[in-house]
């Protein structure tokens, strides 16, 4: 997904001189490195100075450029949070803040590199849109949208571990702000976003093997949330399952529960997210997810 973003941004940058990248102490790889080589006047590395990264991006946007602030999610969002709030959101500037490795993707680097709270923090900012594509194809569509949008700041949450293509045969195209149907069913609806969609698809296959008809939705735009789409999913299925790789407070599951209550939905609703805790364990991405209760087997047991 990270490489798809870099490739897409590089190709867009060939045709739009307003596109620029500001990074903070991260070694550019792939097409981002090529972007630096081919367009050195549009690539800035601020070093360990994330607040400066955001301030520079804000100033560039005010001069008519389309800057992307790019680094590991914890450092692109947590360290300069005040500057994102005041310099980007308050001014409503079209700057894309790219967070690489949301959730516990950087598993072996420890809690300093785990962005467990990023969705809630980004969604809490006025004017901020939040996009979390589930596969390389959605990452490409989201990146292209970000290169041309003028509505305001965006937090673009990307994975980096060679995610598989999941949406090639999706029932609907990617559209900003719209819940996307990947497959249609009648009994159970699974709503997810980001790379944990791979696990959601595994859960769907297991449910189908047991005789259930399953819908799968990509909620790639977490903010602004497609409330009509969520309401339809709640009304049209006997059971709705939300799966996400983020802390539970302020997450999508909490919002879906609120909507379900407000419309008096009659379906069963199960939500799965990271624990509201720092688990002091070491392991792979899948191993950390399992410690947080996020595995296909644990989810299937929870919704049985």
Verify that 12 and 142 share a domain, yes or no.
Answer: yes
Instruction: Tell me how many domains the chain contains.
Output: 2
Verify that 154 and 17 share a domain, yes or no.
Answer: yes
Counted residue by residue, the chain has a size of 304
* pLDDT attached to residue 25: 87
Verify that 195 and 270 share a domain, yes or no.
Answer: yes
* pLDDT attached to residue 160: 87
Q: What does the pLDDT average to over 115-130?
A: 97
* Cα–Cα dist 280/135, whole Å: 29
CB 135 within 8 A of CB 166: yes
Verify that 122 and 18 share a domain, yes or no.
Answer: yes
CA angle 260, 262, 267 (to 5 degrees): 30
Going by pLDDT thresholds of 50, 70 and 90, the confidence category of residue 215 is very high
Q: What does the pLDDT average to over 258-262?
A: 98
* pLDDT attached to residue 29: 67
| Residue 275 forms part of a structural domain | yes
* Domain end point (choices 125, 158, 191): 158
The answer on pLDDT for 32 being more than 90 is no
| Residue 164 forms part of a structural domain | no
Verify that 28 and 151 share a domain, yes or no.
Answer: yes
| Residue 21 forms part of a structural domain | yes
* pLDDT attached to residue 161: 78
Verify that 112 and 227 share a domain, yes or no.
Answer: no
Verify that 142 and 79 share a domain, yes or no.
Answer: yes
Verify that 144 and 198 share a domain, yes or no.
Answer: no
| Residue 166 forms part of a structural domain | no
The answer on pLDDT for 91 being more than 70 is yes
CB 36 within 8 A of CB 192: no
Q: Which tens digits make up the pLDDT trace of 143-154?
A: 999 999 999 999
Verify that 254 and 193 share a domain, yes or no.
Answer: yes
The answer on pLDDT for 28 being more than 80 is no
CB 52 within 8 A of CB 67: no
Task: Provide the domain limits for residue 121.
Answer: 2-158
Verify that 195 and 105 share a domain, yes or no.
Answer: no
């Amino acid at each position: 997904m990270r490489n798809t973003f870099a490739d897409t941004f590089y190709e867009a940058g060939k045709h739009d001189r307003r596109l620029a990248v500001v990074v903070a102490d991260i070694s550019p790889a792939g097409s981002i490195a090529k972007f630096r080589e081919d367009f050195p006047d549009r690539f800035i590395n601020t070093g360990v100075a994330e607040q400066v990264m955001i301030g520079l991006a804000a100033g560039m946007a005010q001069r008519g450029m389309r800057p992307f602030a790019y680094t590991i999610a914890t450092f692109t969002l947590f360290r300069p949070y005040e500057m994102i709030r005041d310099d980007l959101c308050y001014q409503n500037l079209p700057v894309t803040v790219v967070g690489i490795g949301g959730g516990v993707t950087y598993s072996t680097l420890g809690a300093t590199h785990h962005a467990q709270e990023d969705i809630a923090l980004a969604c809490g900012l006025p004017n901020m849109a939040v996009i979390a594509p589930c596969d390389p194809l959605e990452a490409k569509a989201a990146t292209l949208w970000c290169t041309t949008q003028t509505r305001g700041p965006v937090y673009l949450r990307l994975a980096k571990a060679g995610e598989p293509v999941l949406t090639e045969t999706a029932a609907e195209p990617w559209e900003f702000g719209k819940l996307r149907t990947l497959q249609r069913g009648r009994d159970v609806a699974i709503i997810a976003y980001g790379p944990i969609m791979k696990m959601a698809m595994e859960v769907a296959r297991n449910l189908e093997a047991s005789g259930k008809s399953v819908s799968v939705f990509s909620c790639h735009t977490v903010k602004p949330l497609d409330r009509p789409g969520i309401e339809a999913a709640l009304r049209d299925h006997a059971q709705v399952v939300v799966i996400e790789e983020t802390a539970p407070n302020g997450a999508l599951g909490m919002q879906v529960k609120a909507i379900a209550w407000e419309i008096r939905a009659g379906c069963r609703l199960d939500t799965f997210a990271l624990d509201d805790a720092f688990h002091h364990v070491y392991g792979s991405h899948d191993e950390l997810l399992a410690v947080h209760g996020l595995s296909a087997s644990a989810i299937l047991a929870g919704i049985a």
